[in-house]
Amino acid sequence: MKVLGFMTGTSLDGIDLAILDTDGEAIADFGPWAEKPMPPAVRGILENAVRAALGWPRGAAEPAVFEEARRVLVGFHLEAADHFLRQNGLSFKDIELMGVHGQTVLHERPQAGRKGRTVQLFDGQAFADATGVTVVSDFRQADVAAGGEGAPLAPVYHRALVQKAGLELPVVVVNLGGVANITLIDEHLTALDTGPANGLMDQWMRQHGRGDYDHEGQLAASGVVKDEVVAAYMGHPYFAASAPKSLDRYDFTLERVQGMAIEDGMATLSAFTLQSLLAGIDQVGATPKTVILAGGGRHNAHLVRGITAALAPAKVVLAEDLGWRGGAVEAEAFAYMAARSLRGLPISFPGTTSAPEPLTGGVISSPRGRSQSVA
């Protein structure tokens, strides 16, 4: 089944699109993929939605900006997908299914006596109607409703990739997105969010008017790490919590680095990303033979050098070193999970989200007036 997957991360930098040929179990083939930047007007509306979400009390009506954001997101996905398909000599008629993550504007992990809360803005029905293709979206809600963390979800796809590559276990897959998360693939799947990855560093760059990211980690490499600030960040209670566990990008802020020179702030934030990643790997008792880096942070040469040195003798490789498309992994993952959802197969597990049992998820939206059978 030819499935088109979409991912818009918490960094609000753009959209990833990827086509995967899969039945939700085996990966038959990798189709084309692309990254499209997010227009400033779209980002502005989503930033407004995030601000509204952070102040949204439980039980209250959702902020009005959420509906505006959904409309804008459907338009952005439609425009990006139409351009992407035309570039590759395809149309929506060539696609059998689409998996759309939507835009996370709020993610609260469960607490004692209280289930979590997560919001991925999108309108799967409107997108299905506009494209004529069945859409699976809102992948996290079933897991959260059952008491799970709702994240990370990509581990089931990481396992499929590792199996296809025939790698010797154990293997750790690291996704360096707005938030960093790891998947330990051994006899079982284990996963957790380890801490911020690109999110805080990108915010720091924008705050200083220096672009959207630190190219190859050059600023971080030129700065001085403030160890006491890293230690203060690592004192957050999240790091003492047991795994599996999940984060919202906004669980950590730039407050501790305010007033620093831009280089020192970036060096300190990069060191925090590294230390929290290492703590997460240590927490699950992982002694991997291979560590695979995916997500935008794999382009941060300074961060990659730090990870490689700290995890020796494990072999640290970029996703591309295995023939994977490092920028496409998350979009591929939601294509893969869409196929699994259509077949009622699980996408979250006790070891990945603390779900009480393996659970399927995702809301299936068929184009109105049409029907589509399970392939």
- Model confidence over 199-217: pLDDT tens digits? 999 999 999 999 989 999 9
Asked, for residue 332, whether it belongs to a domain, the answer is: no
Show the CA angle centred on residue 193, arms to residues 187 and 196, nearest 5°: 145
Q: What is the DSSP letter of 327?
A: T
Residue pointed to by tokens 């360096």? 176
Structure tokens at 369: 């007036």
**DSSP sequence for 39-83:** PHHHHHHHHHHHHHHHT--TTSPPPTHHHHHHHHHHHHHHHHHHH
Q: What is the pLDDT of residues 329-341, one digit of tens each?
A: 999 999 999 999 9
- 173 and 296 assigned to the same domain: yes
Q: Confidence band (pLDDT; 50, 70, 90) for 371?
A: very low
> Which residues form the domain of 240?
155-322
Residue 121 sits in the same domain as residue 20: yes
| Same domain, yes or no: 127 and 194 | no
* 17 belongs to a structural domain: yes
Which of left, alpha, beta for 258 (phi over 0: left; psi -120 to 50: alpha)? beta
Distance CA 308, CA 232 (A): 24
pTM of structure: 0.91
Looking at the fold, whether 190 and 299 belong to one and the same domain comes out as yes
305 lies in some domain: yes
**333 inside domain:** no
**List of E strands, 147-295:** 171-176, 179-185, 189-196, 290-294
Q: What is the pLDDT of residues 57-98, one digit of tens each?
A: 999 999 999 999 999 999 999 999 999 999 999 999 999 999
Is 217 in contact with 194 (CB distance < 8 Å)?
Answer: no
The closest of 341, 369, 352, 358 to 3, measured between CA atoms, is 341
Predicted confidence band of residue 351 (pLDDT cuts 50, 70, 90): very high
Question: pLDDT band for position 372 (50/70/90)?
Answer: very low
SS3 147: coil
Q: Are residues 112 and 212 in the same domain?
A: no
Q: Do 307 and 171 share a structural domain?
A: yes
- Please, are residues 32 and 88 in contact by the beta-carbon 8 Å criterion? yes
Specify the CATH number for the domain of residue 187: 3.30.420.40
If one counts the domains in the chain, the total is: 2
pLDDT value at residue 120: 98
In angstroms, the CA 237 to CA 240 distance is 5
Whether 154 contacts 330, CB under 8 Å: yes
Single-letter amino acid, residue 12 = L
> Does one domain contain both 183 and 261?
yes
Look at residue 373 and tell me whether its pLDDT is greater than 50.
Answer: no
Confidence of residue 358 (pLDDT cuts 50, 70, 90): very high
Residue 337 lies inside a defined structural domain of this protein: no
DSSP E strand boundaries for the chain: 2-8, 14-22, 27-37, 97-108, 117-121, 135-137, 171-176, 179-185, 189-196, 290-294, 315-318, 363-365
- Judge if 282 and 310 occupy the same domain: yes
Classify residue 210: in a domain, yes or no: yes
Q: In degrees rounded to 5, what are phi and psi of residue 152?
A: -75, 155
Q: Would you call 213 helix, strand, or coil by DSSP?
A: coil
Q: Are residues 144 and 109 in the same domain?
A: yes
Report which residue type is found at 274: L
> Tokens in use for 17?
């699109």
- Give the Cα separation of 309 and 295 in Å (integer): 19
Q: What pLDDT band is residue 178 in, cutting at 50, 70 and 90?
A: confident
Same domain, 58 and 99: yes
Rounded Cα–Cα distance for residues 175 and 232 (Å): 24
Instruction: Please report the sign of the dihedral spanned by the C-alpha atoms of residue 37, residue 43, residue 46, residue 51.
Output: positive
| Residues 13 and 120 both lie in one domain | yes
Identify whether the C-beta of residue 130 lies closer than 8 Å to the C-beta of residue 368: no
Same domain, 99 and 120: yes
Query: Is residue 76 one of the residues assigned to a domain?
Result: yes
Provide the 3-class DSSP secondary structure of residue 203.
helix
Residue 117 lies in a domain: yes
